[in-house]
Chains A and B, each alone.
Chain A
Amino acid sequence: MAVAPPSDPLSGTSLKADFPLLSRTVHGKRIVYLDSAATSQKPDQVLAAMDLYYRNFNANVHRGVYAIAEEATNAIEAAREGVRRFINARSTAEIIFTKNATESLNLVIQSWGRANLSDGDVVVLTHMEHHANIVPWHMLAAEKNLELRWIPLTDDGQLDLTDLDSILVGAKALGATAMSNVLGAFNPVRELTDAARAAGAISIIDGCQSVPHSTTDVQAMGADFLAFSGHKMLGPTGIGVLWGREELLDAMPPFLGGGEMIRDVRLDGFTCNELPWKFEAGTPAIAEIIGLGAAVEYLEALGMDNVRAHERALTEYTLSSFSERFGDDISIHGPADSSLRGGVFSFSFKDLHPHDLSQVLDQHAVCVRAGHHCAKPLMKLLGVGATARASVYIYNDTSDIDSLGDALEQAGAFFAF
């Protein structure tokens, strides 16, 4: 077996105990949850915060003068401040709560895109984008006759930036994921945003996979917009974040109309509320915002550098122990160097179809995803219809990876032809 990775600041602290779901069994076995890239498990702290809201101060926000309405309002605004701090934004005016990253991206693409793009304009995306950062662009492109260009990939699953400057010539916007949900690759965001700015393009970063797993500093990132989802970072589903530079958000038209986002409504029109509420029409996901606030506090207490170091150690362990154990029977997509990637492993094992593989793994209570991971253009580039994908988070440890390895062995034996 591979030697233990050098420095894992979280090893020895068993975080599993904080996650009630991880103590359950499936098919009579302890669950081995390796699908955090799809959604993370939730710690007691998050569940308790949401429960407390419903039990103690459940009220609608912003318009009540009574005590619990004020408590609810304070709680969501405190969560907004927590998120601001977590990503080092300049102001809470820049933190917009949405339903998820998909809605955050649609908000920018529809609101900023409609106001700023016109016939023949160029938008640059990468070949490793999630459908959430492709389909809304296709929708707008069809309407506005935009040209979409794609940054290609290298053979080992990183962005190929050789021709970046020429790809960006004339571009108005760049959309790129900070970390691939298939390849695990971390992209050089600063290099991308610098190149975009030099070309006169704004940059929209999909932080869905990077924000939960590494330190985020939107000011150092040099981006104009960042989208991410609460449910992949220990928070509940139904809550996402759009961060944007205040000047841009200020100038943008509203996205959804309704209550909360207005300052005044008359028979002949309306005026918008100020940021961030201008983009938050209707009653927000109050409990979920509070849950996200608790998730952010939990992650801050661990320290995001420690989170990254833990996952990097686990990545090294996974890559080395699997190559030792399975040799050429396993092939893991994406960069081999753990400094360039996070703990997301899309792999093929022998010639087993991912669906069959994950079915056998399920019998061993090992949860991995099988499919195209909402990245069909990337699947096509990789020459596969689907992959199996295992992904780790703070609560995983080397025993989970070993369990995956054991289950893979069983799957190989079951389908041995």
Chain B
Amino acid sequence: MPGLEDLYREIILDHYRNPRNRGELETPPAHRVEGFNPLCGDEIVVYVDLDDAGVVTDIRIGGQGCSISQSSASMMSAAVKGKTTEEVAELTRAFKAMMSIHESSLEGSEAEAAEQEALANVKLGDLEALRGVVKFPVRIKCATLAWNTLAQGIEESNA
């Protein structure tokens, strides 16, 4: 069975201890969005600032949560800063693909297979450390909370 080391990699604990981009941004111009994990009561607040070209010029993270949700948010904030919303969307898809329990594409179309392959080539960097979360299915929601919240924030600020 998977051990704690599979879940709590050193880099995760580092982001938990020293979260990057903690804080708030002025709204507007930034957009503020909250996310909840009903399972554990965790709340996350994402402040995201997009420029006219759709680039994430700044991001801040607030709220409280477990080491997995907090470190995922911290890594996400570092990874998306300076990226366009299209790049963020691609990174989000790649991250969520890593977080999903693959059911070896049973009858997936060729297009889907190509998409999977493209996502597999997206560089996740530090985020790779969260790969072990898949072995602890109840914690997947902790890892994806920040990403879903950011996606919602971007959608709302584009609306």
- Find out whether the CB atom of A417 lies under 8 angstroms from the CB atom of B17: yes
Q: Which residues of A contact B45 (CB under 8 A)?
A: none
- Find out whether the CB atom of A414 lies under 8 angstroms from the CB atom of B40: no
A253 close to B (CB within 8 Å): no
Q: Among the listed B4, B42, B139, which residue makes an inter-chain contact with A385, where contact means beta carbons less than 8 Å apart? A: B42
Within 8 A of A (CB), among B1-33: 1, 3-4, 7-8, 13, 17
Give the A interface residue count (CB, 8 A).
Answer: 18
- Find out whether the CB atom of B64 lies under 8 angstroms from the CB atom of A385: yes
- Find out whether the CB atom of A385 lies under 8 angstroms from the CB atom of B136: no
Within 8 A of B (CB), among A353-402: 353-356, 359-360, 363, 370-372, 376, 379, 385-386
Of A376, A379, A385, most buried by chain B (CB within 10 Å of CB) is A385
- Find out whether the CB atom of B41 lies under 8 angstroms from the CB atom of A353: no
B65 close to A (CB within 8 Å): yes
- Find out whether the CB atom of A356 lies under 8 angstroms from the CB atom of B67: yes
Q: Which residues of B contact A385 (CB under 8 A)?
A: 40-43, 64-65
Chain B interface SS verdict (over half):
mixed
Give the B interface residue count (CB, 8 A).
Answer: 20
Q: How far is the CB of B15 from chain A (nearest CB, A)?
A: 13
Q: Which residues of B contact A55 (CB under 8 A)?
A: none
Q: Which residues of A contact B66 (CB under 8 A)?
A: 353-356
B142 close to A (CB within 8 Å): yes
Besides the contacts A353-B66, A353-B67, A363-B3, what 12 more A-B pairs have beta carbons closer than 8 Å?
A355-B40, A355-B42, A355-B139, A359-B7, A371-B40, A385-B40, A385-B41, A385-B64, A414-B4, A414-B8, A415-B13, A417-B17
Interface residues in chain A, defined as those with a beta carbon under 8 Å from any beta carbon in chain B: 27, 353-356, 359-360, 363, 370-372, 376, 379, 385-386, 414-415, 417
Interface residues in chain B, defined as those with a beta carbon under 8 Å from any beta carbon in chain A: 1, 3-4, 7-8, 13, 17, 39-43, 64-68, 136, 139, 142
